[in-house]
Structure 1
């Protein structure tokens, strides 16, 4: 863990111990590293000078010289040059720059993302996970109109199900936490949790999810903020981990905004 990550870990433990922010032993984040039945299956501290492409792809599974999610009407086209590693952190940079994409459209922004998935539709995913404890220390950009996200998509490449560990949808104060599923009639459904606070762009915050067979529990800085236990809503399929900086979802950035950066200090995945 980097020195920044170590400080965050200590602060989380102090927060839980002191009961700050409404934390109690029942609603604080588990400590997988301190128990024998958890094992660390993915760890990246971003300590080098380049992205570890053995762990991470820089597009979705439908990569064709870049990618986006066109059904969301997002403004960005993801490109690997917008992903950098330096100084013990990963940086995803969104820039206002027109790019003609392989889908024939012109996108007004380029941005960066990482995924444990494939390099293209026909390859195998790098890493997939069914259940576990997922956490990342992330500093979001201060600009409005951005959508920094930390989420999970099925290895089948089709959603739902989907788990959104963290989304800031166009704002910098409100964390959205979602689970998406199909009901018995095959209709798409979703449930949302919200946690609002100031100061997210000012430093790193730890966003985490405990995914087990009978529950989904979301944590922000070590404190539980959302829980889902209804059986039909819990996914039971292998998933890829994704961190991305979308643009214009759902709000367009201010015309004076030309640049935004999202930083990731570390990522961890634990499994029993």
Structure 2
């Protein structure tokens, strides 16, 4: 009986501590999207297809990023609706308010990017705290939504030396089945940390976690879900609807040893001036975007309407009768209810 009482008391104390910790948090930054506040967010405007060779231009246009009834919509649209189909094969587009090179894309061996979309970055940066993003993910083949973070200053060098925090990535496909028969489309989301001395030694696979709703008969495109991340000076925890899906604790001797990089001949610890959480010991900014296509959709999964050995964007566009019917107006948008950051 005494042991039982002691256990009950211990559990009660833990509960009280948990409640106290939660109540000690302070909401330090938020956007409830009463409007599109461009003082809080900056649009990326570029003809660059990203590190994954995506098929969109990013621009600052209310066709692709807009607020209605307290919801932010990030929506991909076809360029031919504005410029005509012939433009894809012979045109050249220069983005006048471009803020990242290249600013011009021209048809050549392949067509110009066939899609417009939006990517916004918070002007707010933070180190350590808890972030919550309530969002409904897009439905539509070959759409790639993401809620993620990059360092404000690349203290340790270019990607992935200074880290990347992916709170949520998913695919818009309703039916996208891998070789094991698992639907890895919009029933699946993943959280990932990217880190390493260079892109060929990116050890993201050690810090990748997933949540799949397939068994429930639901998808992340059916309703709003709460995507969260708690970040301290000794751990990162990822959650979906307040359920933990993954965590990493400050490795002994840091991420350099955790990645086995100390075994590389002549390798110098690029994070030796940080703490054991480095490179995740600097201020990061929040990014919300919707991409289309690219290498995020791997070979030999699903009936992907392009290959990489020829004209991938042309193939994608000319097979649009296979995928465009899956884009039902605003269902193809990522819809964000709010973004909140707490510290304390």
* TM-score, normalised by the number of residues in structure 2: 0.60
Gaps of 5+ in 1: 1-25, 117-125
Partner Cα separation in structure 1 for residue 120 and residue 19 of structure 2: 25
Q: Please state whether the residue corresponding to 2:105 is helix, strand or coil.
A: coil
Partner Cα separation in structure 2 for residue 247 and residue 109 of structure 1: 8
Q: Are 2:105 and 1:104 aligned? A: yes
* TM-score, normalised by the number of residues in structure 1: 0.75
Contact 2:73 2:334 in 1 (8 A): yes
- Residues 72-126 of structure 1, C-alpha deviation per residue, up to 9 Å, x if partnerless? 101111111111011110001101215725143421110012211xxxxxxxxx2
Contact 1:133 1:269 in 2 (8 A): yes
Q: Are 2:33 and 1:46 aligned? A: yes
* Distance of aligned partners of 1:78 and 1:183 in 2 relative to their CA distance in 1, 3 Å threshold: closer
Residue 31 of structure 1 and its aligned partner are, at CA, apart by 7.8
> Where do 1:1-272 residues align within 5 Å?
34-36=22-24, 38-48=25-35, 51-59=36-44, 63=45, 66=46, 68-81=48-61, 82-97=64-79, 100-101=93-94, 102-105=103-106, 106-116=112-122, 126-156=123-153, 158-160=158-160, 161-169=163-171, 171-182=185-196, 187-190=201-204, 191-197=207-213, 198-231=218-251, 232-233=254-255, 234=277, 235-249=280-294, 250-251=296-297, 255-256=320-321, 257=324, 260-272=332-344
Gaps of 5+ in 2: 1-13, 81-87, 95-102, 107-111, 173-184, 256-276, 298-304, 306-315
Partner Cα separation in structure 2 for residue 187 and residue 32 of structure 1: 41
| Structure index of larger Rg | 2
Residue 152 of structure 1 and its aligned partner are, at CA, apart by 0.4
CA RMSD of aligned residues (A): 2.6
* Distance of aligned partners of 1:75 and 1:31 in 2 relative to their CA distance in 1, 3 Å threshold: farther
Partner Cα separation in structure 2 for residue 33 and residue 58 of structure 1: 35
Contact 1:149 1:243 in 2 (8 A): yes
Specify which structure has the higher proportion of strand: 1
Contact 2:125 2:152 in 1 (8 A): yes
Partner Cα separation in structure 1 for residue 169 and residue 220 of structure 2: 12
Residue 204 of structure 1 and its aligned partner are, at CA, apart by 0.6
